[in-house]
Structure 1
Amino acid sequence: MAQKTIAFFPEAAYGPALNSVGIAQAVEARGHKAVFLSDPGFVDVYKGYGFDAYPVNLSEPMPPEKMAKFWEDFINGHIPNFRKSPYDQVDNYVKDCWTAIVDSAKWAQKDLPGVLAQIKPDVICVDNVVLFPAIKQFGVPWVRVISCSENEIEDEDIPPHLSGCGEGDHACHRAYREHFNDVIKPIHDDFNQFLTSTNEAPYPIGQFFEASPYLNLLLYPEAVKFRRRHALDPKRFQYLEGCVRKEAAYAVPPFAANNDGPLVYVSFGSLGAGDTELLKRVIAAIGKSPYRALVNVGGYVDQYSDLPPNVIVDGWFPQPSVIPQVDAVIHHGGNNSFTECLFFGKPAIIMPYVWDGHDNATRVEETGHGFKMPRYDWTDAELLARLDACLTDAAMKAKLAATSRHMQAQNGPEKAAGLLEALL
């Protein structure tokens, strides 16, 4: 097949961005051209992996460093809300996020038509939770990538997206849906006015995006997927079993203590790293244990002094190269961390704070692949007991091994590249 151009437009967050990088790497291995439509603040991320990237303003234009600071300040300003339940976060964090997301769709509509006309893609892959009308209207097949929890695609019998409800807790499902729709209605009404202005039909309450009529790629692993009332049509919906990108090799450095102890990796994501007091608590607890720990502290390395000798911190780790070498992971429930732990068969303790971290934390425990822990209400003894269980629970080890074998046999990026090529 002659070389085609496949454009990727991920949300301006590292999870969706790096998942799309994994697919783009596989697309180029097949001889096609992968390009990125990007929030200006993420252009250099894609260029760092060797891809062309075209900026699309998703907010009022500002220098990249100011944009990065905006989202850092946004998250850090909500740290008090991380102590709240998913239900109570609807009134603050979730509402503020949806306001910003709707604004991003309006801003993108100004730039997207011209950028698409310049690139002339043959297929467009969009990983976001909101519709960009210009992509739907461009005239080539468009693909929706669902890199977060699969409950972004709603069903009456599964937990609402962002709710953290258990699969069978239907009272929780109803309460969250009703509260979400009530709080979000003014934002949703505003979004529908925008859709109408672009000649798109308005969405029912609570919906901000739709499934693609061409193809929908779910990164969620089948081992943890929900039991739906309405099965997803495999002609349009394909599970990728994660989409782990390739990173440079990582050599675990020597530790000053416990150098032969089990190795733990701790990361709350690039934005969650702002919760430094929580990370310091985790570090102090591990400092009293026989474990070793690599801890991702993001841009806050200078705030960590007098570290225990069995802990090493850094501002970034090549996670897909680190997780295969560790014995357990403590993370925030972001979908990259969630799927990478399953892909490599590593038990996880998830301390969620926002978004689908709540869903992933509930799901990792109810499917036997790890533990959900409250973000703040725990003791050192409780955390270390969970870590010990991660290393000794035979049933969990067997389940993780089976899930890992299945996911690795699927090769999500290669599967995605083949499905995209079929659209051409």
Structure 2
Amino acid sequence: MTQPKVIAFFPEASYGAALNCVGIAQELRRLGARPVFICHPGFRGVFSEYGFPEYQLQPAGSDSQTDWTDFINRHQDAFRQTPLEQVKSYVAPTWEAIVDTAIAAEEPLRQLLAQLKPSAIVLDNVVMFPAIANAGVPWVRVVSCAETELPDPRVPPYLSGCGGEPGPEWAAFSHAYAKAVAPAHKRMNAFLAECGLTPLPLSQFLENSPFLNLLLSPKAVRFERENPLDPQKFVYLDGCIRQEAPYTLPHFASHQDAPLVLASFGSLGAMDVSMIKRMIGVFETLPYRFIVNVGPWRDEYSRIPDNVFLESWFPQPSIVEQSSLFIHHGGNNSFCEALYFGVPSLVMPFCWDGHDNARRAQDAGVGRALDRYRWSDGELAASITGLLDNPALHDTLATNAHAMKEAAGVTVAAKAILDLI
């Protein structure tokens, strides 16, 4: 009897990438493969909860979860800055930390891959791990950040939050970005050379896979590229939504039959308790129901309005499906889930590709962008009401949602991976 093919997934230590990979893995399992997950210690249990084997990657002398939490605590003031200001204060230090992680993970990752003997490796990350390129099996790059991660003359610079047409704003950001990340990029290329790999182009930390590259970007927000991607090696998934158990909505003491709004800012954004409390103060004045993801800081909230429900974690797709509006930070997973279920987005970004998705939501007419901190109560209330009371927008989003479901991104991804082996 033929043994199932082992597909090793290695997502970065973020819930967006991790749960996106879960969706693909669920479909691979349904099709008869054996997906397994290589994960950082801080993600212990995330994948086994969905029934997948987990293999912990523990770089020598590192507590990755503690190190990352400390890093965010040191740099969270940068979340109040513009994307251009963040290049020096947040983006460059983040790349330095990411390169450190890749170097420290190399030997334990090489040993683990030798033990697992996968038929293919799926990498959902922003940095190259030489052990994957040197494993002797096909590897797949998943672009679960914004499509801006793959450069093109007609695509705004990655992490810039720029829109419109190429011009001075794009050039200024690209110049500042290249200068700021140059030291980390130099270290990364030296590391790649030590491992027998070719250097990467300026400002890039991960090469395209020569086998297969999967992009989440739905057609509604996709860019028109000057240099089209080869459809044989670059496959758009139109989203990639995991299967979750149904979620029964709580009973609200007021506005029980009103439209539902979900607010969730990811694992990093939930730490900003004071900002979320300020938002809840606005929610209390509106005739809607609100579910708010507050992460592990649930005990910091003593007074909760009757039309607001707080929790530390939710099966997000199951709630987005029942919502009329999704307020989020612009993480690509959240953005794609909103589009998949035909829900408008109010994007309040604070870092990384959230800036790109906020601008794209507004430019593509599928939502609005709002500065994370510089808003008045009236502006937040008007943004929420305007997105909810917009029949034309909801019709457009419903049409797009139908197309995304018909596209069956997880099935497309799983079959493309199986075709490699």
Same fold (TM over 0.5): yes
Structure 1 residue 38, shift from structure 2 partner: 1.2
Counterpart contact for 1:217–1:416, Cα < 8 Å: yes
1:41 aligns with 2:42: yes
Structure 1 residue 58, shift from structure 2 partner: 4.9
**1:45-73 superposed Cα distances (whole Å, 9 cap, x missing partner):** 111211111122357333xxxx4343333
Partner of 1:162: 159
Which residue identity lines up with residue 368 of structure 2 in the other structure? F
Q: Unmatched 5+ residue regions in structure 2?
A: none
Which SS does the other structure have where 1:145 is aligned? strand
Counterpart contact for 2:326–2:345, Cα < 8 Å: yes
Partner of 1:32: 33
Partner of 2:80: 83
Partner of 2:20: 19
Which of 339, 342, 356 is the equivalent residue of 1:342? Answer: 339
Rate the CA distance shift 1:2–1:331 in 2: closer, same or farther, 3 A: same
Partner of 1:257: 254
Counterpart contact for 1:157–1:170, Cα < 8 Å: no
1:50 aligns with 2:51: yes
Which residue identity lines up with residue 23 of structure 2 in the other structure? G
1:114 aligns with 2:115: no
Which of 304, 315, 322 is the equivalent residue of 2:312? Answer: 315
Which of 216, 228, 232 is the equivalent residue of 1:231? Answer: 228
1:198-217 counterparts in 2 under 5 A? 198-217=195-214
How far apart are the structure 2 equivalents of 1:102 and 1:73?
17
Rate the CA distance shift 1:97–1:76 in 2: closer, same or farther, 3 A: same
How far apart are the structure 2 equivalents of 1:73 and 1:400?
39
Rate the CA distance shift 1:299–1:220 in 2: closer, same or farther, 3 A: same
Which of 358, 364, 367 is the equivalent residue of 2:355? Answer: 358
Partner of 2:4: 3
How far apart are the structure 1 equivalents of 2:110 and 2:260?
49
State, as a whole percentage, how many aligned pairs show the same letter.
Answer: 47
How far apart are the structure 1 equivalents of 2:97 and 2:340?
32
How far apart are the structure 2 equivalents of 1:356 and 1:314?
25
Structure 1 residue 386, shift from structure 2 partner: 1.1
Counterpart contact for 1:76–1:275, Cα < 8 Å: no
Structure 1 residue 206, shift from structure 2 partner: 0.4
Q: Unmatched 5+ residue regions in structure 1?
A: none
How far apart are the structure 2 equivalents of 1:394 and 1:170?
35
Structure 1 residue 2, shift from structure 2 partner: 5.6
Counterpart contact for 2:41–2:65, Cα < 8 Å: no
Counterpart contact for 2:17–2:144, Cα < 8 Å: yes
How far apart are the structure 1 equivalents of 2:162 and 2:174?
11
Moved over 6 A (4+): none
How far apart are the structure 1 equivalents of 2:306 and 2:11?
39
Partner of 1:123: 120
* Superposition TM-score, scaled by structure 2 size: 0.97
Partner of 2:278: 281
How far apart are the structure 2 equivalents of 1:179 and 1:101?
19
Rate the CA distance shift 1:333–1:154 in 2: closer, same or farther, 3 A: same
Rate the CA distance shift 1:169–1:255 in 2: closer, same or farther, 3 A: farther
1:193 aligns with 2:190: yes
Partner of 2:180: 183
How far apart are the structure 1 equivalents of 2:398 and 2:273?
33
Counterpart contact for 1:59–1:104, Cα < 8 Å: no
Partner of 2:380: 383
Q: What root-mean-square deviation, in Å, do the aligned CA atoms of Structure 1 and Structure 2 show? A: 1.3
Identify the range of structure 1 (294-303 vs 71-80) with the bigger mean alpha-carbon deviation: 71-80
Counterpart contact for 1:58–1:105, Cα < 8 Å: no
How far apart are the structure 1 equivalents of 2:58 and 2:344?
39
Counterpart contact for 1:76–1:274, Cα < 8 Å: no
How far apart are the structure 1 equivalents of 2:386 and 2:30?
41
Partner of 1:372: 369
**1:95-118 superposed Cα distances (whole Å, 9 cap, x missing partner):** 111011101110121112211111
Rate the CA distance shift 1:200–1:14 in 2: closer, same or farther, 3 A: same
Aligned length: 420
Which residue identity lines up with residue 19 of structure 1 in the other structure? N
Which SS does the other structure have where 1:264 is aligned? strand
How far apart are the structure 1 equivalents of 2:251 and 2:69?
32
How far apart are the structure 2 equivalents of 1:90 and 1:6?
36
How far apart are the structure 2 equivalents of 1:68 and 1:316?
18
Which SS does the other structure have where 1:325 is aligned? coil
Counterpart contact for 2:289–2:308, Cα < 8 Å: yes
Identify the range of structure 1 (49-58 vs 301-310) with the bigger mean alpha-carbon deviation: 49-58
1:218 aligns with 2:215: yes
* Superposition TM-score, scaled by structure 1 size: 0.96
